[in-house]
Amino acid sequence: MKVEKLHMRCLINGEWRDARSGSTFDVRNPATNELIATAPLLDREQVEEAISSANAAFPAWRDLPARERARMLRAIGDSLQRRSEEFAQLITREQGKPLAESRGEVAYSVNYLHWFAEEAMRVCGDIIPSDSPQKRILVLKQPIGVAAAITPWNFPIAMLARKMGAALAAGCTFIAKPAPETPLSALLLGELCQEAKIPSGAVNIITGDAAMIGAALMASPFVKKVSFTGSTEVGKLLIQQSADTVKKLTLELGGNAPFIVLDDADLDRAIDGAIFGKYRNAGQTCICVNRFLVHESFAQEFSERLVERAKGLVVGNGLEEKTAIGPLINDQARDKVVGLLNSAASDGATFLCGEGARQATSRFVEPCVITGVKPSMRIWNEEIFGPVSTITTFSSDAEAISLANNTPYGLAAYVYSSNLNRALRTAELLDFGMVGINDTAISNAQAPFGGVKQSGFGREGSKYGVDDYTVLKYLSVA
């Protein structure tokens, strides 16, 4: 097939490359297990070559007028928009999500590229009045240098687009390492960079052994910044590995999102928000609801309505239009979800629907709703990453806030209430980087995405997103 044949090579220094050894790894469709492509297993020397080429390309890219960099970024976004159906089909085949969600992911990625094309022209410093009348204080925002991105499989193109957009806008050159499960759309994005005439070496896309590539990027004195989206475990490893070269990091790690339904919530809105916030991408996003915290006066009605809607979600191959929930990414992901369900059941939680998932042997896991979930349970404390709703009740706002904050994670949280003041007060007390008020569709190019606590640091998207790729230089002029 055209896409596979053309794009299963890495982009290094403006050229498409195979592994020198000829080694490849397999990429399979999680829905069918069909082998859909192979991608290069680069060796360390080739990773070093990508780093050197990004380093060599940096001065010219940095010095290019922002308008020129913006034009190229916009061109990449335009091409992605033009080829959105091809990308969406590829994302569903490599990742499994329903086609409608893949189309949404492509549109969302285009937004990041276009957003950062505009931000590229507004990377402005400051002139600060000095105490001394003879002096001037100038603050420049300069690109940090070579930036690398390590991206996850759950949003194969969007996570790359939002990191690449910000890096190129700031004037950094860029190296991307997509997840081994989903490298295809990332490699295809390289073709769009070539078409947009991004200079050789300014964007490199490399695949292979994650630990080796990660170690090479982290050890390199040329790589000045790494932006990572993935597990807290790998994020902590990268913090350790960054020490030697004192690298700037952006870390987008795990979440454990609470969804608080206060006793004055509009239940229709809450149920709609719950279905979108929990079950999209089969529950495999870092901002997916992990814990529904529902006021006791509402708990029964909320649970019944959630069950009714969850049962109506069709599980299947994402290429079929009626599918609402695709497969989990792989068997390990399924085993983890099954383990959490069985552990919750043996700790006393009750299944309101989907109990069959406890014995799931395929990656197609039916949507579950379980109740009686407590902070002592594993399923409360671990990121579920599956189509499982857990419900816990509370009796006061203060209790809801304390339950919500009872986690080392702090990425997204949600509050449903018809009283805006009450919702705002609650949101202000939640230890999370993002709070959706009567809203679970919170991620977009204009807003700063990121977490606190063990969910990481740094922000992506928005006017703040470029800052992660710049350094301030202060000039004292006497």
Query: Hey, which residues are catalytic here?
Result: 252, 286
Sign of the torsion angle spanned by Cα atoms 211, 106, 255, 359? negative
CB closer to ligand ADP out of 234 and 434: 234
Of 56, 66, 210, 447, which one interacts with ligand ADP (CB under 6 A)? 210
Q: Side-chain half-sphere of 457: how many Cα atoms within 13 Å?
A: 6
The CB-of-33 to ligand ADP minimum distance in angstroms stands at 18
The CB-of-6 to ligand ADP minimum distance in angstroms stands at 22
What number of other Cβ atoms are within 10 A of residue 127's Cβ? 11
CA-derived radius of gyration, the chain: 23
Distance CA 399, CA 389 (A): 20
If one asks whether residue 237 binds ligand ADP (CB under 6 A), the answer comes out as yes
If one asks whether residue 234 binds ligand ADP (CB under 6 A), the answer comes out as yes
If one asks whether residue 150 binds ligand ADP (CB under 6 A), the answer comes out as yes
Of 152, 156, 436, 456, which one interacts with ligand ADP (CB under 6 A)? 152
Q: Which stretch binds ligand ADP (CB under 6 A): 193-201, 229-237, 375-383, 423-431?
A: 229-237
> The tokens of 164 are what?
């690449």
The CB-of-333 to ligand ADP minimum distance in angstroms stands at 8
CB closer to ligand ADP out of 95 and 393: 95
Q: Which residues from 181-200 bind ligand ADP, rule CB under 6 A?
A: none
Q: Which stretch binds ligand ADP (CB under 6 A): 96-104, 228-236, 408-416, 431-439?
A: 228-236
Whole-angstrom distance between the N-terminal and C-terminal Cα of the chain? 65
In the DSSP assignment, the letter for residue 375 is T
The CB-of-109 to ligand ADP minimum distance in angstroms stands at 17
Residue nearest to ligand ADP (CB): 214
Alpha-carbon distance values, 377 to 52, 269, 296, 345, 390 (Å): 48, 28, 20, 10, 11
SS3 308: helix
The CB-of-47 to ligand ADP minimum distance in angstroms stands at 12
The CB-of-412 to ligand ADP minimum distance in angstroms stands at 16
Q: Which stretch binds ligand ADP (CB under 6 A): 173-181, 303-311, 394-402, 428-436?
A: 173-181
DSSP string, 23-63: -EEEEE-TTT--EEEEEE---HHHHHHHHHHHHHHHHHHHH
Contact 266, 418 (CB under 8 A): yes
If one asks whether residue 443 binds ligand ADP (CB under 6 A), the answer comes out as no
Residue type, 476: S
If one asks whether residue 148 binds ligand ADP (CB under 6 A), the answer comes out as no
In the DSSP assignment, the letter for residue 460 is B
CB closer to ligand ADP out of 251 and 379: 251
CA angle 115, 118, 121 (to 5 degrees): 145
If one asks whether residue 179 binds ligand ADP (CB under 6 A), the answer comes out as yes
If one asks whether residue 230 binds ligand ADP (CB under 6 A), the answer comes out as yes
Nearest by Cα to 467 from 114, 172, 253? 172
What number of other Cβ atoms are within 10 A of residue 334's Cβ? 21
Q: Which stretch binds ligand ADP (CB under 6 A): 3-11, 134-142, 207-215, 443-451?
A: 207-215
CB closer to ligand ADP out of 234 and 288: 234
The CB-of-40 to ligand ADP minimum distance in angstroms stands at 14
Contact 358, 368 (CB under 8 A): no
If one asks whether residue 231 binds ligand ADP (CB under 6 A), the answer comes out as yes
Contacts of 339 (CB under 8 A, 6+ apart): none
Of 14, 104, 180, 448, which one interacts with ligand ADP (CB under 6 A)? 180
> The tokens of 384 are what?
């579920």
Contact residues toward ligand ADP (CB under 6 A) are 150-153, 177, 179-180, 210-211, 214, 230-231, 234, 237
